[in-house]
């Protein structure tokens, strides 16, 4: 039954379109805009009969899909904004116009992420870029990058040296964007390979210092060995050891294990 209905509707459609051209043609958009990159725009067309594309700029392609006019353009390489009109025609004088405009400049470059990190083994990573430009790409030393069809592909070779970083620059005309890239290396950048960094408590001195004032305003300097980096005890500026400290006073190393590499230096 359903098949039969389908057959009937196909026949009805054929009869309807065969009946002749439209007397009223109404595109749902009177103007369509394309970016410099070009692409596809679809315009619904309401009509009481059949219609066709009568005129079209040579840089515009059209295709009729049922009641939809599919309009496509290639990238605008002319360097200038281009405009034109598509004329749809039905029966007799029945016509409708759709204005087509295409930009000549890149309007935006928007990377999906602004920071890419590689392990020291290197490899390939991609970043989606929202843009209507034909991007020029510059990559810092140690990295290569190329752009095609909305995707930036970044390569990093294996890194046997120190960690490295830089910026990938994307540009077209007066539009630009940057993406930070970094790669781990064989040498820990935090401790420069030594495996240790300055003690965070004493700032590398090995002790902490405190000034106190006595009953008559006299000044005392007190020094405490930094316990975090191996120091102990306390010392006063008059040379006396803290009587409550059994082992006397000793400064710490002023160093602590590098928190980034755990002391390996890599």
Interface residues with Zn ion (CB under 5 A) are: 188, 190-191, 199, 201-202, 226, 228-229, 252, 258, 260-261
Q: Which is nearer to Zn ion, 111 or 231 (CB)?
A: 231
* Alpha carbon separation from 109 to 35, 39, 40, 94 (Å, rounded): 13, 17, 20, 43
Q: Which is nearer to Zn ion, 131 or 256 (CB)?
A: 256
Q: Which is nearer to Zn ion, 107 or 253 (CB)?
A: 253
- Which one, of 15, 25, 44, lies nearest residue 89 by Cα? 25
DSSP string, 19-36: T-B-S-EEES-SEEEE-T
- For the record, the structure tokens of 253 come out as 């190393």
Minimum CB–partner distance for residue 259 and Zn ion (Å): 8
Q: Which is nearer to Zn ion, 82 or 201 (CB)?
A: 201
Minimum CB–partner distance for residue 210 and Zn ion (Å): 15
Minimum CB–partner distance for residue 248 and Zn ion (Å): 18
Minimum CB–partner distance for residue 247 and Zn ion (Å): 17
Q: Which is nearer to Zn ion, 118 or 224 (CB)?
A: 224
Question: 208 has which bridge partners?
Answer: 224
Minimum CB–partner distance for residue 78 and Zn ion (Å): 56
The residue count for the chain: 266
Q: Which is nearer to Zn ion, 52 or 227 (CB)?
A: 227
Burial class (CB in 10 A: 0-12, 13-18, 19+), 196: middle
Q: Which is nearer to Zn ion, 32 or 202 (CB)?
A: 202
Residues contacting 119, CB < 8 A, separation 6+: 183, 184
Residues contacting 208, CB < 8 A, separation 6+: 201, 202, 223, 224, 226
Minimum CB–partner distance for residue 215 and Zn ion (Å): 32
Bridge-based pairing state of the strands 255-257 and 196-198: antiparallel
DSSP-based three-state secondary structure for 252: coil
Minimum CB–partner distance for residue 188 and Zn ion (Å): 3
- For the record, the structure tokens of 134 come out as 């034909």
- For the record, the structure tokens of 104 come out as 């000549």
């Amino acid at each position: 039954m359903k098949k039969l209905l389908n057959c009937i509707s196909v026949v009805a459609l054929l009869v309807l379109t065969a009946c002749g051209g439209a007397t009223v043609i109404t595109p749902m958009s009177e103007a369509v805009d394309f970016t410099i990159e070009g692409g596809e725009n679809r315009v619904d067309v309401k009509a009481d009969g059949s219609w066709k594309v009568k005129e079209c700029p040579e840089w515009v392609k059209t295709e009729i899909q049922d009641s939809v006019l599919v309009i496509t353009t290639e990238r605008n390489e002319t360097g200038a904004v281009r405009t034109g009109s598509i004329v749809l025609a039905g029966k007799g004088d029945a016509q409708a116009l759709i204005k087509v405009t295409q930009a000549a400049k890149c309007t935006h470059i928007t990377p999906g992420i602004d920071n890419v990190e590689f392990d020291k083994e290197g490899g390939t990573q991609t970043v989606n870029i929202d843009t209507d430009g034909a991007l020029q790409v510059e990559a810092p030393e140690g990295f290569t990058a190329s752009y095609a069809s909305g995707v930036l592909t970044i390569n990093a070779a294996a890194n046997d040296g120190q960690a490295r970083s830089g910026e990938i620059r994307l540009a077209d005309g007066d539009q630009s964007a940057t993406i930070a890239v970094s790669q781990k290396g064989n040498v820990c950048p935090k401790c420069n390979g030594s495996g240790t960094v300055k003690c965070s408590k004493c700032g590398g001195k090995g002790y902490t210092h405190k000034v106190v004032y006595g009953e008559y305003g006299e000044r005392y300097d007190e020094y405490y060995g930094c316990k975090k980096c191996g120091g102990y005890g306390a010392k006063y500026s008059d040379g006396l050891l803290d009587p409550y400290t059994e082992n006397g006073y000793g400064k710490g190393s002023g160093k602590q294990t590098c928190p980034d590499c755990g002391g390996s230096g890599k």
